[in-house]
Structure 1
Amino acid sequence: MKTEQRRFMRIGITGGIAAGKSTVSKHLISRGYNVIDYDQLAREIVLPHSPIVKQIEEEFGSHSVNEDGTVNRLWLAHNVFTDDNKRHHINDIMHPAVYALAVQKERDIITQNPDARMIFHDIPLLIETLDIAKKNGFVFDHIMTIEADDDIRIQRMIETRGMAKAEARARIDAQLTREQREATADVVIDSNLNVKDMLSIVDNTLENWLTA
C-alpha cells in the first residue's frame, strides 16, 4: 500500500455515550479547529430515499422506514439497536458509508485550508470501527477518549435526553467498556472534572502534540 503523505495530524476523539465528546468538540471548534462530526455524517447518509435508507428497508422491513422516506428512528431504537445481532448488522451497513463520506469531508477541509495542522474526527464508535477506518486510509496520529463514571453518564442521559435509568444503563452496556477504549487511546480525558478543568487538560494536550 502506498504510504500516506500529509502535513496535518489526524486526531480521533471517542468515548462512551454521554461522556463529554460533544463538549470537547464544541471547544475545539471554538478554537478554530476543524472537527468532523460522525453523528452528523450518519444523519447525512440517511437522508430521505437515500441508498442507505433503501438498504435498511430491504434488510429490516417496511417498519424501519417512514412514509416520507426517512428512517424510523423510534422503531429502530426499539427493534434493532436493542438486539446485538441486528445492531451489528445495521452498523455494517452504515459505518462504511459514514467513513467514505468522512474521507470526502477531510479532503474538502484540506482544499479550503491547506495549512491546517490538526483535523479532528469525533467518532463515538472509533475503537469498534478502526478496521473500517484503516480500509479508508485513515491512520490516526493520536486517539483521545473522553471518559466519565457510569453513574455520572446515566444521570446526564436522564437529565439531557429524557431517558429512563434502565434505558441509559442499556446504552452504556451496549458499547465497549471504558477499559477497552482506554487500552487503544493514547490520551484519556477525565470528564468527571468540571468543564473548565477538563478543557484546560485538552488544551495542554494539544499544545504538547504541536510542540513535540
Structure 2
Amino acid sequence: MRVGLTGGIASGKSTVASRMAYDGAEVIDYDRLVHCLQEPGSPAIGALCDRFGSAILDDQGGVDRHALSSVVFGAGSSDALGTLNAIMHPLVFDLAAQRETQIMADGSADHLIVHDIPLLTEVYDELPFRFDHIVTVEAPASLRVERMVRTRGMSRAQALARIASQTDDRWRERISDVIIDGSTSIEQMFEQVDSLMSSWRREMERK
C-alpha cells in the first residue's frame, strides 16, 4: 500500500510521519531527499549555482539552506521558487523511486509505504506515483506561525511568507481522504495515526 502524507509547514506532519514509522510504515521523507541533493557533489549543485549563484554554497561546497531560502523567498524573487522546483523535483522523484525499489526488493507484498511530501498538492500531477490513501495534517495559520518563530528561528514575516508560498488548506483537503488536526495534543494525534494504520493493515489483508 502506498500512502501520501502532506500538510502545511509546521502543521504537525513530521509528528504524524514519525508515528507512522513507529507503527511499522516505511516512510520516504522528501525533505531528507532534498537534503541529500544539496550535499557536496550532488548532481543538483551545478544547476543551483548556475541559477542562484555560488553565494548559496557553504564552506564545504554544499547548499547553505538559509542563504538559498533568502534568495528564493526574498523580495523581488517571484519566479525563483518555480525555478528551484524545476531543478529539484525531477531529482527528488528519482530518489524516491529508488527508495521504493529498495524497500520492495524482498518481494513482499506487506509493505506500507508512506511518501512524506510537504508540497504534495503542488507536485501531484508531476509525481510518478499514485496513492491508495492521502493524509493531510492541518493546523491554524496562527499556530503554525508561532511554531516557526519558536522552533525554527524565523521572524513572523518569514513564517508568513513560507505559508503564503504553499497552496491553501482547501486544496490539500480536496485531494485527501483523511485529515488529521495538528492542533490537538500529541496523544490524540498518535491515537488517530494508530487507528489509521490498523485499518490500513486490515485493508491490505483483505486484498
Length-normalised TM-score, structure 1: 0.89
1:206 is matched with 197
Give secondary structure in 1 for the equivalent of 2:79.
helix
CA distance in 1, matches of 2:120, 2:73: 18
Q: Does residue 1:132 correspond to 2:129, yes or no?
A: no
Measured against aligned partners, the alpha-carbon deviations of 1:41-69 in whole angstroms (never above 9, x if no partner) come to 00111220322101111122222233532
Distance, in Å, in 1 between the alignment partners of 2:188 and 2:157 is 30
- Percent sequence identity is 41
1:206/1:84 CA distance change after superposition, 3 Å: farther
Structure 2 residue aligned with 1:148: 139
Post-superposition Cα deviations, 1:94-124, rounded to whole Å, max 9, x if no partner, equal 0110010000001101114724331001010
- Residue of structure 1 equivalent to 2:176: 185
In structure 1, the residue matched to 2:185 is 194
| Shift in CA distance, 77/165, structure 1 to aligned 2, threshold 3 Å | same
Is the CA contact (8 Å cut-off) linking 1:110 and 1:116 kept in structure 2? no
In structure 2, what is the Cα distance between the partners aligned to 1:29 and 1:205? 13
Q: Distance in 2 between matches of 1:23 and 1:11?
A: 16
Aligned mates of 1:65, 1:129 — CA distance in 2: 26
Q: Please state how far the C-alpha of 1:70 moved relative to its aligned partner.
A: 1.0
RMSD value, Cα: 1.5
Any conservation in 2 of the 1:154–1:168 contact (CA below 8 Å)?
Answer: yes
Q: Give the letter aligned to residue 89 of structure 1.
A: T
1:171 to 162, 175, 180: 162
| Structure 1: 4+ residue segments shifted above 4 A | none
Give 2:116's aligned residue. Answer: 122
Q: 1:86 aligns with which of 80, 102, 112?
A: 80
Q: Deviations over 1:3-30 (max 9, x none)?
A: xxxxxx1000000000011101111111
- State the alpha-carbon separation in 2 of the partners of residues 37 and 78 from structure 1: 23
TM score, norm. by length of structure 2: 0.91
**Alignment-derived partner of residue 60 in structure 1:** 52
- List alignment gaps of at least 5 residues for structure 2: none
> Matched residue of 1:145: which SS?
strand
Aligned length: 201
Distance in 2 between the 1:114 and 1:165 partners?
47
1:103 to 97, 102, 120: 97
